[in-house]
Amino acid sequence: MAVTLAAVLAPAVATNAHAAPEGCPNLYVVAIPGTWETSKAEPGRGMLALAADGLPGNSQTDYVAYTATAFPWEGEVYGRSKNEAVAGARGLIADVARRCGNTRFALLGYSQGADAAGDLAVEIGTGLGVVPADRVGLVGLIADPRRSPLDNLVGPPVPGAGAGGTRLTGFGWLSNRTYTFCAVGDLYCSTPDGDFAARIAGFFAQVSNADPTQLGNYQTLGMQLLNDALAAGGLGLLHDQLNGSAYEERKKQVDDFVKSGIHQSYPHYQVAGGATALSWLRRKLTELS
């Protein structure tokens, strides 16, 4: 069961007959931190606090604590960890929605948290979520491992897609309120189309601890990946990307990426008009507050 932290609740102000019930915020923000930013044992807020803490007006922010370990390509642990995050965020929104009929919601995620937040946004945007889509004012996904080239990217263009493969349905009724941020060179959210070794690893991370309701989507994603690989060069290409020397080269590439700090650059990564990814999201949340 997810733990929540740093609830920031301004006093409710009953100025007219339409004031929110006591304890119900006008805006409720659920933020899912990234890998290594939080855990069940040591809950933390991570970089999303720069966007979501101390918002004006009658707003409240809660952070989902979950296992939050492993790279997307490290297999079984990742799938279980992400599902914990989805369930935790879903539960927070459902609880507030039951008590507070007029509260609007915002959903944020970074890295593995963006993977989870994006999946939950798909549920809501396609009519299968715990609240109607019109109650969600904003979804912000930073370094989303399932970023699609069709997603609403804020900032400079980046190649490829997320390491975990794209979400087949898109965000439905939340498409015009869902924003994604991906720094140039961030391999989590910008894996080159021709890097099949990384795409295969990302796919197997997604299907670890698989959701039975998503089996059709997993099958479609797997077939897309196989067809892309065959069209690009087939088994010979896969062998070249998966053999021993390629493994050593990939290990160095990943080590260099981790050391570069690109994946942690979003507090100062500029996306539009001098705003960083996090200050851009904070401005949007302030407008909703």
Structural domain harbouring 111: 3-288
Distance CA 99, CA 240 (A): 56
The two counts, helices (H) then strands (E), for the chain are: 8, 8
Check pLDDT > 60 for residue 234: no
Buried (b) or exposed (e) across 51-61, using 16+ Cβ within 10 A? Answer: bbeebeebbbb
Position with higher pLDDT, 282 vs 167: 282
Please report the pLDDT score of residue 14 as a whole number.
33
pTM: 0.77
- pLDDT-based confidence at residue 36 (cuts at 50, 70, 90): confident
- In DSSP notation, 216-228 reads HHHHHHHHHHHHH
* 267 vs 242, more confident: 267
In terms of Cα–Cα distance, which of 219, 216, 222, 184 is closest to 202?
A: 222
pLDDT band at 257 (very low <50, low <70, confident <90, very high): confident
More confident residue, 18 or 282: 282
Residues in the chain: 289
- When pLDDT is averaged across residues 87-110 and rounded to a whole number, the result is 98
List, edge to edge, every strand of the sheet that includes 3-5: 3-5, 59-65, 27-32, 104-110, 136-142, 178-181
* Dist CA 162 CA 112 (whole Å): 11
Residue 262 maps to which CATH number? 3.40.50.1820
pLDDT at 78: 81
Q: What is the DSSP string of 18-39?
A: TPPPTT--SEEEEEE--TTT--
Amino acid identity at 101: G
Locate all alpha helices (DSSP H) within the chain, ordered by sequence: 49-52, 76-99, 112-125, 196-207, 215-232, 234-242, 244-260, 277-288
Q: How many domains does the chain have?
A: 1
